[in-house]
Chains A and B, each alone.
Chain A
Amino acid sequence: MAKIKYHMLVCGGTACHASQSEEILTKFKELIVSKGLETEVQAIKTGCFGFCEKGPIVKMMPDNTFYTQVKPGDCAEILEEHIIKGRKVTRLLYQDPETKERISDSRHMGFYKKQIRIALRNCGFINPENIEEYIARDGYLALGTVLTEMSPEAAIEILKKSGLRGRGGGGFPTGLKWEITRKVKAAQKYVVCNADEGDPGAFMDRSILEGDPHTVIEAMAINGYCTGASKGLVYIRAEYPLAVERLKIAMKQSREYGFLGEDIMGTDFSFDIDIRYGAGAFVCGEETALIHSMEGLRGEPTVKPPFPSESGYMGKPTNVNNVETYANIPVIFNKGADWFASIGTARSKGTKVFALAGKINNVGLIEVPMGITLREVIYEIGGGIRDDKEFKAVQTGGPSGGCLTKRHLDTPIDYDNLIAAGSMMGSGGMIVMDEDDCMVAIAKFYLQFTVEESCGKCSPCRIGNKRLHELLEKITQGNGTMEDIDKLRNLGTVIKDTSLCGLGQSSPNPALSTIDNFLDEYLEHVKDKKCRSKVCKSLMQYLVVPDKCIGCTLCARNCPVNAISGERKQVHLIDQEKCIKCGACLEKCKFGAIIIN
């Protein structure tokens, strides 16, 4: 019998799924059968490869050939050329943006060179809907070892030694959190997985649940054993249907194999998991609000203490950890605390997954060691700024974070350095901005998000953020004064100091950090009534250059509000009162006679 010679890994993450990866997989399977290659080639669905920019991805094993932007129509050619004739389909290989060279082996791509994959170790490698592939890669080995060979205290000690800190944003030491929950005496305790990923642009938790759901189940069971909980709950947003589906499949398989349920692996430890759905409120990522939402109450935070580890879900001690935190845990037990602690910086150990987005060439999901610099992430992994524009800022930590500038490019990224720079790690969204982005408008955008997502319980957040937003609105409309900038600063600081929960305590960050780092742009808006990035419409004027206008009337005919007047073969004029700044005239003019002032 012939042995399987090829595995064709087809990405089944949400992004690739949306661009027909399911059809590609079906097509490959059909073609394999019709060509009689069933005994030699296997097509397998995997989780996200991270390189979403160039999806759908098909990776050929064992030669590591990385095909990008594959379409269902390319399947026949890949099978015919690569498998049967042994020639790579060059046009589908990744092209290095600088050297223009086609790279076939993913290990040589700039995007992957600097990455270390711990939390994403199985994403894009195994079939997430097949527990056997997970077991083959040390799956459930950590759970088995901890249950049979370690006391809960010893296991917690290993976790503390590893230096793992919460990946959801706060960066609280995970081992310490477990220890606190363990020490509280109660008949019933709970462990919770926070999969309420709410930062705009962040999608690492979704990708982990879609690509490697078993790792979360395994780590939750370990957590249950260590803290003394027999029940686990996954709080996941209903907007993640694919992640929910894969998690459900994984839970079912896990029960069948005896990794969930009564007397796990012959010990007297019993543990099971349930799913709770969130409706997508940003504030429900905050652990007390999350717990209330799970209890069926309004998703509003409450004052800490009492911390959830003392009184959480249904008033019982509850340990809440984030998806990415969980994904690190089985590896720590398999490879040891010292190995994990050897990666990263003095106070931030291991790796962090970032969702790269914005004006960058390689949009996608990356996992890098702590301590890597922004420059390495943006220019080496991210492939630099799109269309060779100038880098202006990078926003980390979502609506709670801040903007970092050129000055910070060489700062090693870890929890403490980001806070010192006026931003935060957050859940790992990284949005890159170029010269075309107006920093005042960016601050306004994030404020608008927090105003909408504020639960309204405490006044600083409910009223204060609204006022902040109004001040920014005023500045972008050209009505701002110098006093407004001071007001922004003062009010922002007060909101940070007096808000009840993490949402309010961090919501002024985008505004405050842009004032600190881009004061000149604020001053331009206020004093010169100018927006250098030409984003703030109220500060822009569309003008006709008399020397260039030949009077073709094209602009006047295309203006939706009839703001342009002028006779044929005469210079036209734009009525600034009527103009809505839609840009239609600029787009239509063939003579470059329309400019933005």
Chain B
Amino acid sequence: MEKIKSLADLKKMQENLRAKIELREKSNDPDTRIQVKVAMATCGIASGAKEVMETFIEEFTKRNIDAVVTQTGCMGYCYAEPTVEVTKPGAEPITFGYVDVKKASRIIDKYIINNELVDGIIPVNYQSIDKN
């Protein structure tokens, strides 16, 4: 192991090491980041949710976008699988249906980067209990 010779060396090293625990840092305050939840129940996986999740993770890394990708259970829209819920900081969550690999890239391009909506949005048709 080469010894650290200066403060600048240390900072450079820290920069490189950050990625190792990035996954954990992000989960500390997910609300300040873009959150993507991929529904991964049996129905989701069968229609390709795993590949979709992979695409999101890879694209975010490639484009250097600060986002947390997690999987969640069935959202109930089994007819529209795979479904993905995207929450941008300060905005209401939006759920997209029929998301395949191609559409995942489009969601990133249009909604996440440019704030334009993409077709296939599932309208909010429920109220969560804590809001009442």
Q: Which residues of A contact B (CB under 8 A)?
A: 2-7, 9, 61-64, 85-88, 125-126, 132-133, 135-141, 144-145, 147-149, 256-259, 261, 265-266
Contact residues on B (Cβ < 8 Å of other chain), bracket: 35 or more
Q: What is the CB-to-nearest-CB distance from A90 to chain B, in angstroms, rounded to a whole number?
A: 10
By the criterion CB–CB under 8 Å, are A85 and B14 in contact? no
By the criterion CB–CB under 8 Å, are B10 and A85 in contact? no
Residue numbers in A under 8 Å from B18 (CB-CB):
136
Q: What is the CB-to-nearest-CB distance from A495 to chain B, in angstroms, rounded to a whole number?
A: 48
State which of A2, A88, A137, A257 has its C-beta within 8 Å of the C-beta of B1: A257
The reply to whether the CB of B70 lies closer than 8 angstroms to some CB of chain A is yes
State which of B9, B40, B70 has its C-beta within 8 Å of the C-beta of A62: B70
Count of A-B residue pairs with CB < 8 Å: 101
Q: What is the CB-to-nearest-CB distance from B20 to chain A, in angstroms, rounded to a whole number?
A: 6
Known A85-B41, A136-B21; judge A5-B69 contact (CB<8 A): yes
Task: Give me 15 other A-B pairs in contact (C-beta within 8 A), A137-B21, A256-B3 excluded.
Answer: A5-B57, A7-B21, A9-B24, A61-B23, A62-B26, A62-B70, A63-B70, A85-B41, A85-B45, A86-B39, A88-B73, A135-B13, A144-B11, A147-B7, A258-B3
The reply to whether the CB of B124 lies closer than 8 angstroms to some CB of chain A is no
By the criterion CB–CB under 8 Å, are A141 and B10 in contact? yes
Q: How far is the CA of A2 from the CA of B58 in the complex (A)?
A: 8
The reply to whether the CB of B115 lies closer than 8 angstroms to some CB of chain A is no
The reply to whether the CB of B6 lies closer than 8 angstroms to some CB of chain A is yes
State which of B7, B39, B71, B72 has its C-beta within 8 Å of the C-beta of A148: B7
Residue numbers in A under 8 Å from B38 (CB-CB):
86
By the criterion CB–CB under 8 Å, are A257 and B4 in contact? yes
Residue numbers in B under 8 Å from A266 (CB-CB):
5-6, 9
Q: What is the CB-to-nearest-CB distance from A92 to chain B, in angstroms, rounded to a whole number?
A: 15
Q: How far is the CA of A141 from the CA of B30 in the complex (A)?
A: 25
Q: Which residues of B contact A (CB under 8 A)?
A: 1, 3-7, 9-11, 13-14, 17-18, 20-21, 23-27, 30, 38-42, 44-45, 53-54, 57-58, 61, 68-73
By the criterion CB–CB under 8 Å, are A64 and B40 in contact? no
Q: How far is the CA of A257 from the CA of B70 in the complex (A)?
A: 35
Residue numbers in B under 8 Å from A135 (CB-CB):
10, 13-14, 17
Q: What is the CB-to-nearest-CB distance from A66 to chain B, in angstroms, rounded to a whole number?
A: 11
Known A85-B40, A86-B44; judge A2-B26 contact (CB<8 A): no
Q: What is the CB-to-nearest-CB distance from A74 to chain B, in angstroms, rounded to a whole number?
A: 19
Residue numbers in A under 8 Å from B4 (CB-CB):
140, 257-259, 265
By the criterion CB–CB under 8 Å, are B68 and A148 in contact? no
Q: How far is the CA of A136 from the CA of B54 in the complex (A)?
A: 25
Nearest 8 Cβ contacts at the A-B interface: A258-B3, A86-B40, A62-B27, A136-B17, A144-B7, A86-B71, A63-B70, A266-B6
Residue numbers in A under 8 Å from B13 (CB-CB):
135
Q: What is the CB-to-nearest-CB distance from B123 to chain A, in angstroms, rounded to a whole number?
A: 24
By the criterion CB–CB under 8 Å, are A144 and B10 in contact? yes
Most buried by A among B38, B54, B71, B73: B71
By the criterion CB–CB under 8 Å, are B10 and A62 in contact? no
By the criterion CB–CB under 8 Å, are B7 and A145 in contact? yes
Q: How far is the CA of A138 from the CA of B1 in the complex (A)?
A: 20
